[in-house]
Structure 1
Amino acid sequence: MAVKARLILEDGTVFEGKSFGATGESFGEVVFNTGITGYQEVLSDPSYCGQIVTMTYPMIGNYGISRDDFESLRPFVHGFVVREHCEVPNNWRSEQTIDDLLKEYNIPGISEVDTRKLTRIIRQHGTLKGIITTSEEPVEAILAKMNQPLMEDQVARVSTKNMFPVPGRGPRIALVDFGAKYGILRELTNRGCDVIVVPYNVTADEIRRIRPDGILLSNGPGDPKSVPQAIEMIQNILGEYPLFGICLGHQLFALACGADTEKLKFGHRGGNHPVKELATGRTHITSQNHGYTVNIESVASTDLEISHVALNDGTVEGLSHKTHSAFSVQYHPEAAPGPYDSNYLFDRFLENVATFVKEDKKSCRA
C-alpha cells in the first residue's frame, strides 16, 4: 500500500502525493531543475546540499541508477519532488532504482505532485523553505518548524577533510574542493593532470607547499560569503599561479577581487542555459546549478572584466582578471549532466598553466 506524503511550503501551500525513498521528514530550500535527463547526476551533485529538488520533467527514474553516473560518493539533496516516479526502470545499465537509492541514504521523495504549479510558485515568489513529510501532523505544526534558518555550513559538510592525490604525469593542479563534482576531476585526469584535491579551508601556505602549476576552484553549495577563509586564501595566492574558478569557485574569485555577490530569485538549474562569450560573440548552451550571482555593477570597481553573460537574464556568467592569469565561469564546463559546449575551458586553463610554467622556467634561468 502506498504511503502518503506531503510537501509543505513556508507560505502554507500544501502538495499531497505518494512517498518514495525514505519515510519521515526533511527540511530544506525548495528549488527546481529543468533537466530532461541526468537525475542521478543531480541527486549526487554536492551543490544541492540542503535543498529539496523539484524535477520539472514529468517522468523521473525510467533508466534507473548506475554506479558510473554518480558525481560524488552519495546523494546530498534533502528531498526529491517529481510528477511521476518510474518504479520499474528499463535500461541495461540500471543497477538499482531511485527508490532504493533514496532509502539507502534516508532521503524522502514525493511523487504525483503538480510540478508545473510548484515551479510557477517558485518563479513568482522565489525559492521557499519546505518540508517533505510522511507524518499526519497538522499543517500549522509543520509550518512552525520552518522558523529555523536554512543550512549555512554546506561546504564544510561536502568538502574533503584531508588532501589526497590523483596521480598523473602532466601539470600539477590543486583542486580546491568546495563540493567538487567528479566531472571536474574527470576532465583534469583525462588531460593527464597530476591532481591534488585539497579541503575548502586550505591556506595559501598549504597550497604553496604542494607546489602546484595551477589552481582550480570547484563548484559547491550555498552562499559564497559563508566561506570567508576561501576568499582570504584566494586573495593571498592570486597571481602566483594560473587560476580557474567554476560556479561557487567563480563567485569566491569575484569576492576575492573586490566584487560583490547576491542571491537570485530562483536560481539557474538545468542543462539548457544560453551563455554568450563576449570576445567571440558565440553562444554556448550550458549546464548550470547556482542560486547566487556576481553583482554586475560591482565588477566595474575591480581588476576584473566580464567575459560571459547569461542571455536569459543578463547576469554575469564569466570573469577574467586584467593582469593575472585567472578566469572563472558561473556554469559547469564539465556538464554531467548537460552539453559539452564549454569543455574547451579546461584546455584554455591548461594552456595558461603551460605558458605560466614556461615563463617561470625562463625567469629561473635568467
Structure 2
Amino acid sequence: MDYRVVIVLGKRYLILDDGSSFAGEAFGDLSNATGELVVNTNLSNYQEALTDPSYHNQIITFVQPSIGNIGINPKSYESIMTSAKGIVVNEAENISFSHLKNMSLDSFLKERHIPGICNIDTRQIQKYVRKYQIKKASIVNSNDEHAFDQLQAAVLSNQQIRSVATSKPYLVPGTGITVVVVDLGLRESIIRQLSKLNCNIIVVPWNINFADIKNLDPGGIVISSGPGSPDEIDPIVIKNILAIQKELPLLGIGLGHELISIANGAKVSRMNFGTHGSSHPVLKIITNEIVYPNQATDYAVNPETIDSSKLIITYVDLINGTIQGIRSRDYPTFSVQFFPERINDLDDTFDIFDEFIENIEAHRRSINE
C-alpha cells in the first residue's frame, strides 16, 4: 500500500482507507474508533449531529474551525443514545459562552466513550475526502502498518436501523390528531415539532405490520429519518408504504423520503460525497423560494428514474442537483430528503409539518363527504 502521510506533531491519528494519515491531539475518550468518514459543514449543532441516529457508525469531521464553545445542553439531544463513532475538529473548545451549557464537549465525549481528535486542518480533510472519495477511517494511537491493516479488515454493520430504532411502541400523549411515527432512527426534533402541533404521537418499530398500524386508528403516518443504505432495508417497510399511501396521509423524512421514492418506482444511489450540514441551497419549486435546510445523507434519488405520472418533484438541491422532495399525484403522500424541523419558533422557512396536518384534515373531510 502507498502510505501518504501528512505529518503534524500530535498524540493521535486519523487514518483513512487509502493509506493516508492526519496527526493531531486527543480529546474526549481515548479509545480507538472505526467508522464511515463524513464531513459536516454546520456552524453549530454539533451536539445534535453527535446524537442523531442518522450518523450511526460514522466519524464526523466538523469544518467549522471552533467546536465546543456552546457546551452541551440536554434539551438539544436528538436521541438519548449517541450514534456517532468519533469526532474530528480543528479547535476543541472547553469553555462555553452559552447559559444553557450543562457540560463541556470534552466531558460529554468521555461520558459517552466517543474518541475525538483536534488540531487538524479539517478543511484540508474536507478537500481530501471530496477528491479521493474516502469512505472509511479510524481514530487511533499509531499510524503504523498494523493500524492500516485493521482499518482495511474492519466491516461496518449494515444492520444500523436495528441498532438505533425502538423495538417496542410507545406513546407521546397529545390532545390533537393521532400520528403514527415509524421509527427508522428517529430524531427527537420530529417528535418535538409534532408535539407543538398538539399531535397524539405513537412511535412504532420499523418492522411493524400495516394491520397493526391501522388498529391504532391514526390520522396520518410519518416514516422517519435514519441511517444506512435504503437498499438494505427489510422489504416489509416498502410493503407498508405501498399499503399506507393508498389509505392514509403519509410523510417521509430523510431515509423515509428515499423509501417512499423507491416504493413508487424510483431508484436511489450513493453519492460520491454526501451532504451533511446546512450549506446547500434548496429550491422550493412551487414558490421559487430558496431555503437552507439541515441535511445528513449519503444517498440520493436518481431524477432519471422518477415516473412523472406518479410523482412530482417539489424540492431540488441547487449545488448537486439531487431531488430534495417529492409528492404523489395519486395519494396524500409527500416526502423531503432534508430535515424539516424548525430550529426555533421564529423560523417559518419550513412548513412541512403544517402541510402534513392539512393533508390529514383534508383527507378526513373527503371521507366524511
If the TM-score is normalised by the length of the shorter chain, which range does it land in? over 0.9
Counterpart of 2:203 in structure 1 is 197
SS at match of 1:42: helix
Residue 342 to residue 248, structure 1, CA distance change in 2 (3 Å) = farther
Q: 1:33 aligns with which of 25, 40, 59?
A: 40
Q: Deviations over 1:255-313 (max 9, x none)?
A: 11111100011111112321111222111121111110101111137611211111111
Residue 257 to residue 204, structure 1, CA distance change in 2 (3 Å) = same
Dislocated runs of 4+, deviation >6 Å: none
Q: Deviations over 1:320-365 (max 9, x none)?
A: 0011000001111105599945431110110000011122233xxx
SS at match of 2:227: coil
Q: Deviations over 1:47-83 (max 9, x none)?
A: 0001000000011001110111111113210000000
SS at match of 1:156: helix
Percent same amino acid among aligned pairs? 36
The number of residue pairs the alignment matches comes to: 359
CA distance in structure 2 between the partners assigned to 1:292 and 1:302 by the alignment: 23
SS at match of 1:62: coil
CA distance in structure 1 between the partners assigned to 2:136 and 2:242 by the alignment: 34
1:283 maps to a residue whose letter is I
Counterpart of 1:105 in structure 2 is 112
Counterpart of 1:143 in structure 2 is 148
1:130 maps to a residue whose letter is A
CA contact (8 A) 1:258 1:302 kept: no
TM-score by length of 1: 0.94
**1:166-245 aligned within 5 A:** 166-228=172-234, 229-245=236-252
Unaligned ranges ≥5, structure 1: none
When structure 1 is superposed on structure 2, of 336-345 and 107-116 the one drifting more is 336-345
Tell me how far 1:106 sits from its aligned partner. Answer: 1.0
TM-score by length of 2: 0.93
SS at match of 2:108: helix
Residue 324 to residue 205, structure 1, CA distance change in 2 (3 Å) = same
CA contact (8 A) 1:173 1:212 kept: yes
Counterpart of 1:158 in structure 2 is 164
Counterpart of 1:289 in structure 2 is 296
When structure 1 is superposed on structure 2, of 9-18 and 296-305 the one drifting more is 296-305
Counterpart of 1:317 in structure 2 is 324
CA contact (8 A) 1:286 1:335 kept: no
CA distance in structure 2 between the partners assigned to 1:118 and 1:360 by the alignment: 55
- Tell me how large the CA RMSD over aligned residues is: 1.8
